[in-house]
Each structure stands twice: as C-alpha cells, then as structure tokens.
Structure 1
Amino acid sequence: MSFIINAFKNFLHRMFQILSFGKKSISNSLSIYVKIIGGNTITVDLDPTWDIKNVKEIVAPKLGLEPDEVKIIFAGKELGDEIKIEECDLGQQSILHAVKITRKIIKLPQESSSSLIEENDDQSSQPLSKTLDDSMFSYDDSSGSGGNMEREMLNSQNSLHNSKVHFYIFCPTCKAMKSGKIRVRCHFCKSGAFTVHSDPQNWNDVLRPKQITGTCENSSDICANILNNREPTFAEFYFKCSEHTSMGEQDEAVPLDLIRPNLREIPCLACADVRDPVLVFPCSAGHVTCLDCFRQYCITKLMERQFWQHPELGYTLACPAGCTDSFIKEIHHFRLLTDAQYALYQRFGTEEFVLRSGGVLCPQPGCGMGILIDPGCNKIACVNGCGYVFCRLCLQGYHIGECQSNENENNTNEEGCIYNVDPNRALVARWDEASRVTIKVSTKPCPKCRTPTERDGGCMHMICTRAGCAFHWCWVCQSAWTRDCMGNHWFG
C-alpha cells in the first residue's frame, strides 16, 4: 500500500514540475502591490533580479491584456522593459501602477491616404532616482547660463567618484533622520499613475507646487475637467522613508533639504573636518557644517535662549557666520537633537510665542505656564497651571502698591559660546564655491576686523580698506606691520 502512495506522490511531483516548466523561480521574494486604473490592487511576489518585462508578463493576464499592451509607472516615470527591479529603489510593499497603453493613429505625410501607422504613447525611461544628480541639491537659479559649466564639471566629478545621491528625511515612524526616496503623484487627484514631462532641476521644483507638468493616467472627474479646460496637470513630489516597509501611499516623510551628501568634500565651517552628510545653510554663500557641529550649535543657542522667533518661520536659527536671509525654514532639521533637547526647543518656542503675543510666563518654579492676558491687567492667576497669583510687572506674589526693585534682574549670562566660527574657515566652507580654490591663495582676512582682503601683486604691506579700520598689517605674518616685516619680507 505504501508503494502505491509513494508512486502517486512522485507522479504529482513530476506533474508540478511540468506545469512550472518555463516559469521564473524566485530566489529573493519582494512583495509588491500593483494598482490598476479603476481602483483594484493586486499583490505580486517579484525577484529583484527580474526586469520590468517579467512584471508585465505577470500583471498583463490579470488585466486581460498582452504584456506589450501594459506600461508600468513608478515614481513619475514609465519603466522600460529592460530595467531591473533592483534599480528602481523598491522596498517591501511598494506600489507600482499598471496602465493600458493607448495607441495613436498617425498619418504619414505622403500622398497616399492609406499610409497609416500606430504609435504607442509610452516613453520608456530610467527611474527618477537614477536621473537626479548633484545639481538637484543646489543651483536654484537653474535658468542662468553661468552655472552650466560648473554643473557639467560637477557631474563629471560625480561620475568619476561613482557616488550615489541620497535624500535625507525625518521619518515620523522611525522618529529619526533617515535616507529617503522621492515619489511623484498628480497634484489634483493624488493618483500615483502619473508621468512627469521633465525631471526636477533643483529643490524649488520639488518643494514648490505646480512647477513640473506631466500626464495623469487616472480617469477621474477632477483631471477630466482640467483636461477639458486645457489646463496643464502638475506633478506633486513627496518623500518616503527607505529604511522601513512601506505603509501605503499615505506613508510620507518630511524632506530635510538642507542636509546633503558631501560629494564635493567641503570642510565644516566650525571644525574644518570633511564629513558626510553635511548641512548647508540657506545663505548666499551656502556655508557648510557637519551634523555634529550643527547639533552643538543648536544646543548652545538653545541653552542661551538665542533662537530667533521669526514671524513666519517660527523658532529658528540663522547661519552662524552672520549671513543675512539665512534662517532655516524647515524646523524639522532641529529633530537632529535628542528627544529631551527637542522638547526643550518646543517649550522655549512656545514660551517665546506667548511673550511676543503680549502674554507672560508663570514665574513659579516648575511651572512656566504661558498665560495670555488682557492689556492693563496686573493681577495674574495661573488658572490652568499651579494656581499661583502674581504681579505682572515684577513677577512676584501679587501685592498692592509699587513693586520692589530686583537687583539681579539685569544680570545676564556672559559666558562665551562654545560654538565658534573661524572667518578663515567660513571662506572655505561654502557649498557652491567649493571648486574655487583661488580664494584660499589670493585672499586673507584683516587681522583686526577680519574683512577679507585680496592681494593682486605689490609688496606685503597691507592697509585695510574697510571704513573705520585702516589697519596696517603684514600679508605674510598676518599681524601688525613692523620694522621686522619691512626688513625680512617686504617684497616676499
């Protein structure tokens, strides 16, 4: 009896082998969701070593189509048949969009009216993550021709270094800074079945709405009305964390656009070390600091309560080199602090907002409740906090009559800031001027006022041209001009 059972098992095993002949085996399964126009979603297991043609062969039968009648859209691009799945920056439970190819009949410019051909509207291309280079991280004025030569030079340098450009995000799920992935959807209907007409060239194209146009494959009423009104459809870029399993299209992260891979090997503004990644301040010089020094800069300013309450940007900081218009706009960059430090940052920011709004903080130790009060009211009660009743003018217990003077009220903490910026380093730690090495040779700061001074020839006796300074100094010694300088190296 057992012989018959074993023979039957062998027969079934051979039948399964015959039925599976010709099919690709999966050595490393990648579970992917494929969305179909109409709202249906199917789950497929793919091997990262497969190409998009294999994906079409799996998806097409489920749509009742042939593989060459299907196009696969991911991250704003239609993927070509020869592209490997592992090149697409896919993670577990990522979403692909399968769309039926529409064919256009085009009449050739010939005398015969029967000369007609069919043309597919698909344009195979590389994934968006492979088409963005280092120019994405700067050159906001990409329309100018002055940056073209520098951009080409940087691109050639990148190809030599074979470095991969990464995005950095703050992930609400991981609650930390992580590497991120850029994704695209329709600005109007939020469908991911969307292909862009051109790649973004700078952060403005990504962060600002309605910068890049594209084609939406979704047949929703919203996009149909837009097409009927002959309005362009725009792309909406967003980011996802690349270090945890995707939780759907609503799983988004905050882009940290100031944190960038240090492909140009620029030294830090404070410590002069070359680190990766770095933070580039949004000033005209693009000063660069490593993340450790940025944390120290934030902690120092936080302990001294030297953050700036910006009317539009909130509680933020500017470039430590003193550059104008250099405030950090995305406050999630301060999530690089520890949880306790970020909680203190939020507390101080709230308190500063209350004070600038005409309110007061409860002076009772351990409370600090922010209280908004009516103008002219001097008797304040911490109703929702500790219940302490105090005088608005002197912040002491409420009293009748004039306030007593406090001798210590004008005392301030005058300890030096442990985050220091050397002006010499500030000249080097610039993002968009990393390739300009001449400034390190032909420019030195005045020893008195630190104003950069350029020497284009002549003797070593320098006179600062800044108004109110006029300091006489030696180019070699970088100190006050003396007779020794005159005798030893007046002419070098």
Structure 2
Amino acid sequence: MWFLIDFIRNIMNHILQLFRFGRKTITNKLSIYIKTNTGRSLAVDLDPKWNIKVVKELVAPQLDLQPDEVKIIFAGRELDDNIIIEECDLGEKSILHAVKARPRKKNLDKHDLERNVIEEGIEESSSSKPLSQTLVDLQLENEERENISDELKERSKAHFFVHCSQCKELCPGKLRVRCSICKGGAFTVHRDPECWDDVLKAHRIHGCCENHEIPCVTNDQGDLPFAEFYFKCARHSSGGESDFAAPLNLIKINIKNVPCLACTDVVDTVLVFPCASGHVTCLDCFRQYCLSRLMDRQFICHPDIGYTLTCPARCDNSFIEEIHHFKLLPKQHYDRYQHFAAEEYVLQAGGILCPQPGCGMGLIVGEDCLKVVCQGCGFVFCKNCLQGYHLGECLPEAPNSGNAGSCLYEFDPERAAYARWDEASTVTIKVITKPCPQCRTPTERAGGCMHMVCTRSGCGCEWCWVCQTEWTRDCMGAHWFG
C-alpha cells in the first residue's frame, strides 16, 4: 500500500504545480538550471517577474521538502523570498542552487559556538539582495563608499569588464563565487568584496559551503572555507560553473570623470594604470600606446609577469600584471605581441633564434655548443655569428664609420648576394642555398648526392650538404644520397 500512497502523493503534487503555475502565462521566459546538494539538476522555465518564494514553491516538491525548508543560493547570497528574479543578474542557462536549511546544533563546545556565531553573521549579511545589487565599485575607498550621493548610486554600482574567448572582444562581466575546496556554487560569503585584492587573491573572504550534506572545512578544527571568485561574460548564455572569462581589472567606469592622459577627452570607460597616481587613458589611446611600443619592441620582459608595459608616465611599480589587457589590440597585432613575447622569453633564458627566414624557432643550446641544428627547418648554423655553419673563426662584422659626415660606403663583399632590391630574392637565396663551411660562399644544390665541392677559386672545400662540415666517410655511409 505504501507505494500506492506515494504514487498518489506525487500525482497530487504534480496537479498542485499545474494549478499554481500552469495557468500563469510566462511572458518573457528565462530558462535556467536548479542544482541541489543531493546531486540532482532541474531544468525550469521562470518568469523574470516571479519572486524567489514562487521558485521555492516550484522546487520544494521535487526535493520532498516544504517551501520554508528550502534555501535558494546564487552568486554568494541566500536570496530572500521577496527578491524578484529579474533583479538577480541571471542570464540564460544560469544556475541557482536549492539546498535544505541546516538545523542548529545543540550542546556546542567553544569552537562550535564561535563557528555558529560566524555562520549566523554570514546568514544575516548574505540573506538579502543578490550580490549584483549590493556590490559597490571596487575602485572606491571606504570613505567614498559611505558618502555616495543619491545621483551617483546607480553609477557607482560595481561594473566589471572581461575578455571573452567566445565573443573574442571586451565584454561586460558578471562576478560569481564558489567554494575554494569543492568548487561548488552553493556558497554564501560573509561580506562583500571591498577591493580587487578581495576578488583576485586567495584566502581573503570566508563563507559557508552547502554543496554537500557534510559541509566543507579547511582543517580538523572545522574552520570555514574561503570564497573563490571568478567571472563570466554577460553577453551570452552561461556555460555552467566551469565557464569563465579573464577579468580586466584595470578597465573601469569613469565615475570620477577624469580626462584621458593622452587625448584629454572624458569618456565613460577608461583604463587606470596600476601606479600610485592612477593615471587614466581612454581605450583608443591605450591601443595606440601598446601598438607604438610593440612596433618599436619596447615592451618589457618581466621575470614574474611576462611581456608587459608600464604607465606611459614611467611611474614606479606600474607594470600591467594581467596581460589579457593586451587582447584589446587587433588580432594581427596581438599575434605579433605573442610572437615577440616568445622570442624575448627564449633570449632571456639564454637561448637563440634560428636565423633562417621564415623560421625563427627558439633554441636552447649548451654553452660549449657552436654548431646548432634547428629542429624546425633543419638549418645548421654557427651559434656565435648566426651564419651557416663554418670552419675556422667567424668573420668580423662590417665596420661602421664613426664620421657622420663621411661619404665612405663600406660593405662586406661576402654578403653582397643578400643585398638585393627584391626582398623575395633575398629570402629565396637564404632558403635554397647553404654557405660553404670554409669560405662562406652561398651554394645551391641542384640535385645529385650530398657531396659538395666548392667551386670558388682558391677554396675547393669538400663538404657535406646535410652536416655543413667537411666531407667524411661517415657522411658517405649515412646520407650520401639523402
């Protein structure tokens, strides 16, 4: 009989849901997911005009709970019953967390009592409006937060910008939070972030995790876990809790109406350099600044940050730490930025770049190694002079005239073949020829075996096309014909 009673109860619950929600016309449907701490996930359509109490009434029967036993958690907050859905910064395919309210423990020891006091403080501070409605712009100081005028309240709300890999451009962002231990989203924070360090650095803000029946703790004493903040793009549907976008923390709403450092225009969205003065530039001027430094290869290879820039005013301690800001450059220029950054990394590490046109592969070689074989194009060259591998000493560089008024024009006769008007000819010569290892005369192989004999008068060096060294029996046995 018990299964029949259970069946009838489920039917009655279903009829009740149809009665409550079926006759309501959803004028602007919002499709979201509701996850429970039992592992279930429900796909529901909500009307943005509904409040959280309606959501609880919709979800409670699915969890075999009463509506007043359900907690709805989103973006680090337990949402009150009277919160309207459209106020919560929800997008399509967003996730709400529905969990059962935990009963309070009795007969607590001192540590548990302290923990309960913290949890009560978290519930008191977090059970209210969603984070998107209460969070103040992170660039404001504490005194400025307390004295915001009514006309600036809306503008001073926190605005975030991200670089979205899906949209491939600068986009408005949404702040989200999860447990630093289990990475679950049924997590409530004990206070709002007050600065960018609270958001970007670990172990700054505690919270309560309710993703499981047994809550996450950081140690044997049961200390509360920390919040882990991350960002999503606000322009497209959520890709779940694993979806995230790179935060561009230097880009801000210009709530103080500061003019651009370069063009002096006052614009709404600006980049604030991380210097003590907080110099401001509009995004167009920032792109021009990056582009000019990039073309002159004046970016700085910082050992901890990477290939970056400082404030244009050359302020101390003003390195741009989040290099995703350079994705504001057009794609072809950002690709060049990455190319230059890779080259600088190799050079800083004591490596060299393959001198063959069209290659440029980075190579790390030993200090005593003079003969370098490129793993990319196979070019064999001298580590010291970066010319084709040779026997004997490297040729000295062509001397430069120290007299600015002199009309003398000096050049290296051996390199005359490369100084062609047609750049394509220069590249072709370097690609299809190899220098004689003894006299450096560019030599083209037109077929036949790998045994080369230099035809330059007075040289006659016999050498191997593959090894670029003198011809030996080993060359004859290993690759005479390829």
Do they fold alike, i.e. is TM over 0.5? yes
3-state SS, counterpart of residue 185 of structure 1: strand
Aligned residue number for residue 364 of structure 1:
356
- CA distance in 1 between counterparts of 2:92 and 2:275 reads 39
Match of 1:58 in 2: 58
Matched, 1:250 2:261: no
Q: Which residue does 2:322 correspond to in 1?
A: 330
Name the structure 1 match of 2:48.
Answer: 48
Deviation at 1:406, TM superposition (A): 3.1
Determine if the alignment matches structure 1 residue 195 to structure 2 residue 198: no
Pairwise CA distance, 1:201? 0.4
Alignment-mate amino acid for residue 152 of structure 1 = E
Following superposition, the deviation at residue 220 of structure 1 comes to: 6.0
Cα deviation code 1:338-388 (max 9, x no counterpart): 221111111111100111111111122222111111103222222x22222
When residues 169 and 408 of structure 1 are mapped into structure 2, their CA distance, relative to the original with a 3 A threshold, is: farther
SS of residue paired to 1:233: coil
For the pair 1:350 / 2:342, whether they are aligned, the reply is yes
Correspondence for 2:133? 130
> Do structure 1's residue 400 and structure 2's residue 391 form an aligned pair?
yes
Q: Distance in 2 between matches of 1:307 and 1:392?
A: 26
Letter of the 1:346 counterpart: Q
Question: How far is the alpha carbon of 1:390 from its aligned partner?
Answer: 2.1
| Structure 1 segments (4+ residues) deviating >6 Å | 408-411
Give the direction of change, closer, same or farther, for the CA distance of 1:343–1:394 in structure 2 (3 Å limit): same
Measure how far apart 1:396 and its partner are.
2.1
8 Å CA contact 2:217, 2:225 repeated in 1: no
TM-score relative to the length of structure 1: 0.71
* Alignment partner of 2:203 out of 204, 207, 210: 210
Distance 1:203 1:327, change over 3 A: same
Could you state the TM-score of these two structures normalised by the residue count of structure 2?
A: 0.72
SS at 2:372's partner residue?
A: strand
Preserved CA contact (<8 Å) 1:104 1:120: no
Q: Take 2:267 and 2:71, find their aligned partners in 1: how far apart are those partners?
A: 42
- Secondary structure (helix, strand or coil) at the match of 1:137 reads coil
Q: State how far apart, in whole Å, the 2-side matches of 1:248 and 1:212 are.
A: 23
Q: Per-residue displacement from partner, 1:220-278 (whole Å, max 9, x unpaired)? A: 66x45547523221111111111111111101111111111111111111111112211
**CA separation in 1, counterparts of 2:396 and 2:140?**
54
The 2-side partners of 1:171 and 1:44 are apart by 27
Contact 1:101 1:122 (C-alpha < 8 Å) held by counterparts:
no
Q: Which amino acid aligns with 1:137?
A: Q
Deviates more, 1:384-393 or 1:267-276: 384-393
SS of residue paired to 1:80: coil
| 1:152 alignment partner in structure 2 | 146
Question: 1-side partners of 2:401 and 2:259: how far apart?
Answer: 40
State whether residues 175 and 231 of structure 2, in contact with CA within 8 Å, keep that contact through their aligned partners in structure 1.
yes
Counterpart CA distance in 1 for 2:222 and 2:90 is 34
1:32 is matched with 32
Aligned residue for 1:324, secondary structure, equals coil
In the alignment, residue 403 of structure 1 is paired with which amino acid? C
CA distance in 2, matches of 1:21, 1:283: 55
Alignment of structure 1 residues 310-321 onto 2, 5 Å: 310-321=302-313
Q: Which runs of 5+ in 2 are unaligned?
A: 1-14, 108-119, 403-482
Over 3 Å counting, the alpha-carbon distance change for 1:328 and 1:59 in structure 2 is same
CA contact (8 A) 1:191 1:218 kept: yes
Q: When the two structures are aligned, how many residues end up with a matched partner? A: 373
Equivalent in the alignment of 1:166: 159
Q: Is the 8 A contact 1:196 1:212 kept in 2?
A: yes
Residue 24 of structure 2 aligns with an amino acid whose one-letter code is: K
C-alpha change, 1:378 and 1:121, in structure 2 (3 Å) is closer
Q: Secondary structure at the match of 1:129?
A: helix
> What is the identity, as a one-letter code, of the residue corresponding to 2:394?
C
Q: Give me the CA root mean square deviation.
A: 2.8
Structure showing greater Rg: 2
Q: Does 1:268 align with 2:260?
A: yes
For residues 18-65 of structure 1, what are the alpha-carbon distances to aligned partners after superposition, in whole Å with 9 as ceiling and x for unaligned? 957884321111011001111101111101111111111111121122
Task: Specify whether residues 94 and 410 from structure 1 end up closer, same or farther in structure 2 by C-alpha distance, changes over 3 A only.
Answer: farther
Distance in 2 separating the partners of 1:88 and 1:409: 69
Distance 1:267-1:149 versus aligned 2 partners, 3 A rule: same
Measured against aligned partners, the alpha-carbon deviations of 1:141-178 in whole angstroms (never above 9, x if no partner) come to: xxxxxxx434434x227636645532011112222221
> Is 1:389 aligned with 2:383?
no
